[in-house]
Amino acid sequence: MKQIPSVNLHDFLSDDANKRNEFIQNIGKAYEDIGFVALKGHFLNQELVDELYTQVREFFSLPYETKSKYEIQGLAGQRGYTSFGKEHAKGRTTGDLKEFFHFGQHEPPANGEEYPENVLVDESPAFNAVGQKTFAALEKTGCFVLRALALHLGLDERYFDPFVKGGNSILRAIHYPPITEEPKKAERAAAHGDINLITLLMGAQGRGLQVQNHQGEWIDAIAEEDELVINVGDMLSRHTNNKLKSTIHRVVNPPKSAWHSSRYSIPFFMHPVSDMKLDVIPHCIDDEHPKRFKDITAGEFLEERLRDLGLRK
């Protein structure tokens, strides 16, 4: 596979059974083959996207002394600001060439889960508001993607709903600043797999994001302006015994001629509630596909990975 497939969520939401079934088949095959799709027909409108990028650029242009007020100790970077170079990929010690800001659930969820409160930026109420709106639109989109995947897996369509509605999801606004000197083994985001169930990514309209296919080749994952790139995370891969693939990906440094440019991307990491059991789904196990992963909850797995990333001591 040399490029990521494209699908349209409108087909799944259609009253046309053929379009709906074709969407389920296509997204399922894509996630079995490479773990990535480009998705049209999501719940983000262009006005919201434009406002989000405006506010994100303004936040990251603030002086470091201002941004650092929102880097809260003890939260392992789960809310608020994380400064440049703090996070690294699993198995590496060199920090990625990025800074970022995290939004979580805005209202306390009805399921009784307790999450850290969102960190509000005093200098920009509009930044806080647009983050909340974007979070809601991407959570809604992710719910429908998971419904399609549940059907592909032979599960009830709403199997994932109680786990992800009010789940421990995170919206991350990332700034990759201009590169000012030759990076020493550092990349904007080193090769990694995501922790969560699925990731919905805004801002893949240009070279930088690369996905590793089954032949070990790195291919560019470039979406059109109206598309989200959505990939399988390690939690969903574990839960399906690697039937759905969590694919290694990275954000490479630009050519030297483009070092002066910032890059922005905004992923939504869709996490379930912490007590969701990630035990392998029984009908994803057979003689050819023995159980590959130990039983673990989403909360336990998240804690393990935060330590791997250097965000939790």
The pLDDT of residue 103? 97
Neighbour count for residue 101 (Cβ, 10 Å): 25
**Per-residue pLDDT reduced to its tens digit, 123-153:** 999 999 999 999 999 999 999 999 999 999 9
The pLDDT of residue 307? 81
The pLDDT of residue 1? 46
User: How far apart (Å, rounded) are the C-alpha atoms in residues 293 and 238?
Assistant: 6
Question: How is residue 230 written in tokens?
Answer: 């959505």
| Cβ(43)–Cβ(253) below 8 Å | no
Helix H, strand E, coil C: the string for 282-294 is: HHHCCCCCCCCCC
Closest CA to 98 of 14, 192, 212: 192
Residues in the chain: 313
Closest CA to 146 of 262, 9, 241: 9
The pLDDT of residue 186? 61
Segment holding 26, helix H or strand E: helix 17-33
The pLDDT of residue 298? 95
Place of tokens 């079934």: 21
The pLDDT of residue 263? 82
Closest CA to 137 of 48, 75, 215: 48
| DSSP alpha helix (H) spans, 124-243 | 125-152, 161-164, 234-239
The pLDDT of residue 91? 61
**Per-residue pLDDT reduced to its tens digit, 10-28:** 999 999 999 999 999 999 9
Which stretches of the chain drop beneath a pLDDT of 70?
1-2, 85, 87-96, 180-181, 183-189, 204-207, 253-255, 257-258, 311-313
User: How far apart (Å, rounded) are the C-alpha atoms in residues 211 and 134?
Assistant: 25
CB neighbours of 12 closer than 8 A, spacing ≥ 6?
A: 19, 20, 23, 24, 144, 147, 148
The type of residue at 170 is I
The domains located in the chain, with CATH, are 6-308 (2.60.120.330)
The pLDDT of residue 184? 65
